[in-house]
A and B are shown apart, each in its own frame.
Chain A
Amino acid sequence: MKRWHIRDIILVTILAIFMGVIFWVITPLYSALTAVFAPMGLQPLANEILLGVWTMAGPLAGFVIRIPGAATLGELLGAVVEMFLGGIWGAGTLISGVVQGFGSELGFMATRYRHYNWVTLTLSALTTTLVTFAWSLAREGYIAYHLGFLLLLFAVRFASVFVFGGILTKLITNLLDRAHVLKH
């Protein structure tokens, strides 16, 4: 199995910073969505719709770098970037980063870091949703929601993670593949 070398470490960090910089622009969108949904008691939906964007660094890093731990590290470093860029959620994002990254990592682990295709990304989207949702049940008190609403939240979260971590990531890696920069 591949080990971490200095080049990969720098690559995953630069990638995480790039994602952090790109995603910085959607923070106002998050606030706006929250403001729109909040009066109807639908605030978590804002979070669910955008969650796929926050968790995208994981599958992308996992797919491009292909070393065990790449997805977790990519997502964790994204959180570190956010923390030191002045993100409000501070060190709380570190724990979320590990949870989200580990969720994506499970998808790659399930295919034993050998297959990099649609199946891997779909699996990764599924594990990300499951792991982060379990975390939300405890941390954000989702456990107290009615079952119907909970199912809606879960479905929206999976759709979001699948669109960004699955479809968009696949489109990006297709481009990289055509440019022959992905190692097989």
Chain B
Amino acid sequence: MNPSLKLALLVLIALEISFTHVWTVNVALIVVSLILMVWGHVTFKRLAMLTLIPAFFGAALVWSLTLRGTASNHFLLVIFTRMVAYVYMGGWFAQTTNPLTLTRSLEQNAKLPSKFAYGFLAAFNLMPKIQAEVATIKAAALMRGQVLHFWSPQLYFKVILAAMNWSDQLAAAMTSHGFVEDAPRTHATEIPLVTRDWIMLVGSLVLVQIGLFVGLP
């Protein structure tokens, strides 16, 4: 499925089940996401994590709502299945979507301005460097006997200086390689958006509406 439409579908369904109280639909979404994840060769370890963690947090929330609130059993069931459904749908999306393809699709199909698409990509490619930089900053401080925690302003100060430096350099590098903001571009890789994608989007949404409003528990 086209990544932009896939994202739209996911966000729309997640928003909708946040405000509706039909646990059977949540369970149906969980089952469908599970099938899609198995189909997409998501590893067993990942599936186990995607199940255990929301089950733990969901159970804790349900327990808390029971002790400190006035929730009915139906409400508790809705909240629990909702949390698992979120995680499963999110897991399906994150595990079966390539960030590069998603960004290309957002640029070509969803008309995201190319400066955003390429700006995000440029920064995301620095990920390993960014991780190394945090470790370096912490180690450098340790050498002076200073321990930097996540609540230390100095840590963020140094990180922001590095971010400013790198963004200047990357932006200059892109400009010097001929990147012009808002100029028309051609694409090395075209992301197809075909009728089948639209049918899947609309079909899934219709199915969810039927499930939500036909009077299921």
Contact = CB atoms under 8 A, between A and B. Distances in A.
Contact of A90 (B94, B154, B175): B94
B63 A138 contact: no
Interface of B: 7, 10-11, 14-15, 18-19, 49-50, 53-54, 56-57, 59-61, 63-71, 75-76, 78-79, 82, 86-87, 89-91, 93-94, 99, 115-116, 118-120, 122-124, 126-127, 130-131, 133-134, 150-151, 153-157, 159-164, 166-168, 170-171, 174-175, 179, 181
A7 B49 CA distance: 38
A2 interface: no
Interface string A149-184: 100000000000000100010011011100101000
B128 to A, nearest CB: 10
Contacts of B59: 38
Given A6-B175, A18-B130, A38-B63, A90 B150 contact: no
A43 B163 CA distance: 36
Per DSSP, chain A at the interface is helix
Per DSSP, chain B at the interface is helix
Given A9-B115, A10-B166, A164-B151, 9 more contacts: A5-B171, A5-B181, A7-B167, A10-B170, A25-B150, A93-B90, A140-B79, A149-B68, A149-B69
A92 interface: yes
Q: Chain A, interface size: which category?
A: 35 or more
A11 B69 contact: no
Nearest to B53: A88
